[in-house]
Amino acid sequence: MEFRTLEINVISAKDLKDVNLFTKMDVYAVVSINGDHRAAQRTPVDKDCGSNPKWNYAMKLTIDEAAARQNRLYLVFRLKSERQLGDRDIGTVEVPIKELLDQKYGNEKAEQNVSYMVKLPNGKPKGTLNFSYRFGEKFSKPVPQPPETPMMAYPPPATGYPGSSAAYPPPPPPPRGMAGYPYPPPGGSYAPYGYQQAPASGYGYPAYHPHGGYGYPPVQKPQKPKKSGMGAGLGLGLAGGLLGGMLIGDMVEDAYEDGVEDGLDFDF
């Protein structure tokens, strides 16, 4: 990609709109390509300049030659008034860079002075901006390549699943002296349903001789304890005593209030 430098000298502005009510404006300019604030540059503030600021400030920008020739780049000037309670916009100047290239007529390195109208935020023209410019030599930059996405490698699937060529190893044999249960016969057939015969004695566990049925005593249902009437009677007695105490307390309170109203005239 081909680039070139654009050298600008922001000279002055004239007949700007006064956005201050009681004091003179302190005006500065912010210069950028297509309004991109990341590469924007600004002039110093001209104090108490009012509507006719002067800067004579030089700056250098870098432009894409192909984009400028395709009329896709604009030189943007934003004029602002510096204030204590926040800066305020005065106006904007937008200049197509292709128009600046076409004005050079083959002598692009020569400095040229131009003037453009300032547009207010509502779009109306008010004031003039004066600046000079010239283009530098062309130079190339490599096109940045996007980073390569790393390839993710996955491990091979584990073997030993049912139906695969690799089989699980057989289970280890039982310890010596312990009776192991036989494996089912080949072909997937099992013994008839029912209880199988216990292993013979002499191979770890003693022989099991069932007696009294299958060796399990009959299950007995636990008997529920009989309810005693003492608890219910006690609860009723407590409730009755509480109710009686409340009634007696109300009667004593009523009698006391009656005595106070009568002047505590009790006859004994």
Across 101-105, 127-131, 262-266, least confident range: 262-266
What pLDDT sits at residue 64?
93
What's residue 168's pLDDT? 57
Specify the pLDDT at position 246: 55
Euclidean distance between CA atoms 109 and 6, whole angstroms: 10
58-103 pLDDT, tens digit each: 999 999 999 999 999 999 999 999 998 899 999 999 999 999 988 8
Of residues 11 and 265, more confidently modeled: 11
Q: Residue 182 corresponds to which tokens in the numbers above? A: 């036989």
Interval 155-206: pLDDT, tens: 656 555 554 444 556 666 666 655 555 555 555 544 444 444 544 444 444 4
Alpha carbon distances (Å) from 68 to 33, 99, 141, 143, 144: 11, 9, 16, 17, 20
Q: Which residues contact 114 (CB under 8 A, 6 or more apart)?
A: 95, 100, 103, 130, 131, 132, 133
Report the pLDDT value the prediction gives residue 204, as an integer from 0 to 100: 44
The pLDDT tens digits of the residues spanning 16-39 come to: 999 998 899 999 999 999 999 998
